[in-house]
Chains A and B, each alone.
Chain A
Amino acid sequence: MSSARKSAELARQLFALTLDQGRLAPERVAAVLQWVEKHRPDNASAVLRALKRLVEAEVARSQAVIEYAGEVSPAVFAEVTATLSRHYGRPLESVPVARPELIAGLRVRVGCDIYENTVVSQLAALKPVS
């Protein structure tokens, strides 16, 4: 097995240890980092980079990043997050981000999925017609 594959495999194993009942546990992440620091596996930096990618993807999967323009009430954020939590079958954390360049509407990102209904995206859709 190549060293890159070994690093990826070890990172996956370490990532599995950072989960508690399917959710990322900060204290477990800290413990894993301590273990890496102590045991210094081969190509430790590659292992940590791979682990970082996995953790980032997991964080993205557990968050609903809601980008919005204009006034949006907290109730809307809560409703969107609750609906998406039901859809994905896991509790999601709501992360609202103001993005005036969207002009109006919402763009919600959960992991790799983006749900978009903004004026900017609709204008972009019109571009090929003109």
Chain B
Amino acid sequence: MSTVLEQIEQQIARLQAGTVKKNVGTIRAIADGVALCDGLSEAKYNEMIEFPGGVMGIALNLAEDDVGCVVLGDVSKLKQGDEVKTTGRLLSVPVGKALLGRVVDTLGNPVDGKGPIDAKEYYPVERIAPGIIVRKSVSQPLFTGIMAIDSMIPIGRGQRELIIGDRGTGKTTIAVDTIINQAKINRVGLASGDKNFRPVYSIYVAVGQKNSNIVRTIGALEAAGALEFTIIVAAPAADNPANQYLAPYSGAAMGEWFMENGMDALIIYDDLSKHAVAYRQISLVLKRPSGREAYPGDVFYLHSRLLERAARLEGKGSLTALPIIETLAGDVSAYIPTNVISITDGQIFLETDLFNQGVRPAVSVGLSVSRVGSAAQIKATKQVGGKLKGELAQFRELAAFAQFGSDLDAKTKAQLDRGSRIVELFKQPAGNPIPIEQQAATLWAMQKGYYDALPLGKVNAAAVSLREFFVTRKDALLTAIRTKAALDADIESQLKTACDEWKSTFNA
């Protein structure tokens, strides 16, 4: 009964509310999802503007005579002369763990048909990136589960690592595999009961993609059991450019909640090329001056303010960003790629030629780099993979040189042979991330020459067999590598015994 009385009292209080002040305007023109409004004298930059029928927009152009608003909803019912009003609110999205396992649109509304989201908190979409004082250097690893990346281009929590390459080179696959690997690690870590274990929650932001691709990604995550640790923000190609422009910022706000609350999160922006195109469209419709390739002057700031929000904070959590950029004909020196390369802490460059040769993931070792990740790499990986990048680079150089002549000395032949084996070893099917302890064991066996006697075509099968052997027969050793994160004399002797045992059973 008291609840009923409280409800009535609340309604009375609402009725007794004093005079309400509104700042209003009228739509003067509306086209291409952008409304030019007269009035709105108190509109602030990025403020939400309410249109008739509950449609919301954002004030993006504050001119002397009018306000340019990007409409976020259905523009078909809006017309010239309609009244609009300011809300005094910045665009905010729901944040928190209630969003995990859900697919939402740019505004945080569920689009997966699983019912409403019970979010307790809202974060503004646009936030100032953390400053210098509160930041902490990157020193904790974030394993992608992709051997070529974890051993040669390591990523740390709080890092921004760009994934760049032509269409169809496996950029999204790397991102999805990384999310799947986080889910696998989370499951093992949470089951272990380790109080110091910090799970990584993932946010996948799909910008300007086909709906079918988004569905495929969701399916892959669901099949791998990774969706429960993941939030998907979808702004597909059919969505209006305003939603595509804002989606990465919405995702960043959701990621920041984890970071601010002492947790770790990973965010994938797939992809920022289409994001820049959406922003260009909005800017041109708003009649902002255009510059190179018709992008507006602030296209660098568009991405820098987004990626700067990824950080590792002192006494709090971290937000790791993996932006994706699609290049045309491998041109990394185009406008948007160079912008994002200069903002991020490194890039994973995927080559079409390698992909077509069957080297998948098609990571180009020469052009890929991680500027801060080595500080986060665990000792075990450093011990077994420290020289791999140099060896592979040498191999590529020699391989190119060896094409012109057949008389090679023994040392060169050995280097070429070893390089080919490393390339074979790094081939990894999609959706199959490898735990770091298994990677360490695989690379240790490589280092000690366990695959040297095998035919080149059997190296990858041997590595798979070795990992299976370790998982089924040497689980305690794998756990020891995982917990110690280094290969001491004791572990190395156990690894030797185990590899000898495997070699005696492996039939090439």
- Give the interface of A toward B (CB within 8 A): 8, 12, 50, 53-54, 57, 111-117, 121-122, 125-126, 129
Contact = CB atoms under 8 A, between A and B. Distances in A.
A122 B20 CA distance: 10
Nearest to B19: A117
B18 interface: yes
Q: Is the interface of A mostly helix, strand, loop or mixed?
A: helix
B214 interface: no
Contacts of B20: 115-117, 121
A88 to B, nearest CB: 12
B39 A114 contact: no
A53 B38 contact: yes
B11 interface: yes
Nearest to A117: B19
B87 to A, nearest CB: 14
A54 B17 CA distance: 34
B11 A112 contact: no
Contacts of B411: none
B11 A129 contact: yes
Given A125-B14, A126-B15, A129-B11, A116 B22 contact: yes
A125 B10 CA distance: 12
Contacts of B11: 126, 129
Contacts of B28: 53
A18 B11 CA distance: 49
B64 interface: yes
B317 interface: no
A114 B41 CA distance: 12
Nearest to A130: B11
**3 A-B pairs with the lowest CB-CB distances in the bound complex, closest first:** A112-B39, A117-B19, A112-B41
B40 interface: yes
Q: Is the interface of B mostly helix, strand, loop or mixed?
A: mixed
30 contacts: A8-B65, A50-B65, A53-B28, A53-B38, A54-B65, A57-B39, A111-B41, A112-B25, A112-B39, A112-B41, A113-B21, A113-B22, A113-B24, A113-B41, A113-B42, A114-B24, A115-B20, A116-B19, A116-B20, A116-B21, A117-B18, A117-B19, A121-B20, A122-B14, A122-B15, A125-B17, A126-B11, A126-B14, A126-B15, A129-B14
Given A114-B21, A114-B23, A125-B14, 12 more contacts: A12-B65, A50-B65, A53-B65, A112-B41, A113-B22, A113-B23, A113-B24, A114-B24, A115-B21, A117-B18, A117-B20, A126-B11
Contacts of A122: 14-15, 17
B65 A115 contact: no
Contacts of A8: 65
A105 B17 CA distance: 13
B142 to A, nearest CB: 43
A57 B41 CA distance: 10
Interface in B1-36: 11, 14-15, 17-25, 28
Contacts of B23: 112-114
A126 B8 CA distance: 11
Given A54-B65, A122-B14, A112 B24 contact: yes
Contacts of A111: 39, 41
Contacts of B25: 112
Contacts of B17: 122, 125
Contacts of A112: 23-25, 39-42
